[in-house]
Structure 1
Amino acid sequence: MTSLPDQFRAAARGAGATADDADLDSAAKYLLTHWAEPQRHYHDVTHLSAVLEVVDRFAGLAPHPDRVRLAAWMHDAIYDPKALGDANERDSAEFAQGLLVTLGVPEEVAAEVARLVGLTAGHATEENDPDGELLCDADLSILAADEERYARYAAAIRREYAHVPDGDFRAGRSRVLNELLKLPSIYRLAPIRDEWESRAQANLRAELEQLA
Structure 2
Amino acid sequence: MTPDPAHDTAPPDTAPLRARWQATVTAAGAAPDTDPAPYAKRLLAAWAEPQRRYHTTAHLADVLARIDVLAPHARDLAAVELAAWFHDAVYRPDRSENEERSAVLAERALPELGIDADRTAAVARLVRLTVTHDPAPGDVDGEVLCDADLAVLAGEPDAYAAYVAAVRAEYGFVPDDAFREGRAAVLRQLLGLPRLFRTPYGAAHWEAPARRNLAAELATLTDVGDPG
2:7 corresponding residue in structure 1: none
Letter in 2 for 1:177: L
User: Could you tell me which residue of structure 2 aligns to residue 72 of structure 1?
Assistant: 84
Q: Which residue of 1 aligns with 2:67?
A: 55
- Deviation, structure 1 residue 19: 5.1
Q: For 1:61-98, what per-residue CA distance to the aligned partner results, in whole angstroms no more than 9, with x for missing partners?
A: 101111100000000000000003xx011111111111
**Cα drift, residue 20 of structure 1:** 3.7
Determine if contact 1:36/1:45 at 8 Å carries over to the other structure: yes
In 1, distance between residues paired with 2:126 and 2:60?
Answer: 15
| Residue ranges of structure 2 left out of the alignment (5+ in a row) | 1-12, 223-228
Q: Where do 1:19-30 residues align within 5 Å?
A: 20=33, 23-30=35-42
How far, CA to CA, are the matches of 1:19 and 1:81 in structure 2? 37
Cα offsets for 1:4-31 (capped at 9, x unmatched): 111111111111111546x201101110
Match of 1:40, as an amino acid? R
Greater share of helix = 1
Between 144-153 and 174-183, the greater mean CA deviation after superposition: 174-183
Among candidates 85, 92, 100, match of residue 102 of structure 2: 92
TM-score of the superposition, structure 1-length normalised?
0.95
Q: Deviations over 1:18-55 (max 9, x none)?
A: 1546x201101110000000000000000000000010
Equivalent in the alignment of 2:5: none
Aligned residues: 209
Secondary structure of 2:212's counterpart equals helix
CA distance in 1, matches of 2:36, 2:55: 22
CA distance in 1, matches of 2:134, 2:191: 12
Of 171, 175, 180, 1:165 maps to 175
Deviation of 1:182 (Å): 2.0
Secondary structure of the residue that 2:91 maps to in structure 1? coil
- Shift of residue 177 of structure 1? 1.4
Give the root-mean-square deviation of aligned CA atoms.
1.3
Paired residue type of 1:195: H
Q: Separation in 2 of the partners of 1:155 and 1:4?
A: 25
Q: Name the SS for the 1:124 alignment partner.
A: coil
What does 1:113-192 correspond to in 2, within 5 Å?
113-192=123-202
2:112 aligned residue (98, 102, 105) = 102
Identify the residue that residue 29 of structure 2 maps to in structure 1.
Answer: 16
Q: Distance in 2 between matches of 1:17 and 1:183?
A: 38
Please list every run of at least 4 consecutive aligned residues from structure 1 whose deviation after the TM superposition is greater than 2 angstroms.
none
Q: Give 1:112 shift.
A: 0.7
For residue 43 of structure 1, what is the aligned residue in structure 2? 55
Calculate percent identity across the aligned residue pairs. Answer: 46
Distance in 2 of aligned mates of 1:164 and 1:6: 37
In 2, the alpha carbon distance for the partners of 1:25 and 1:57 equals 26
Q: CA deviation at 1:152?
A: 0.4
CA distance in 1, matches of 2:192, 2:30: 38
Task: State the alpha-carbon separation in 1 of the partners of residues 172 and 59 from structure 2.
Answer: 19
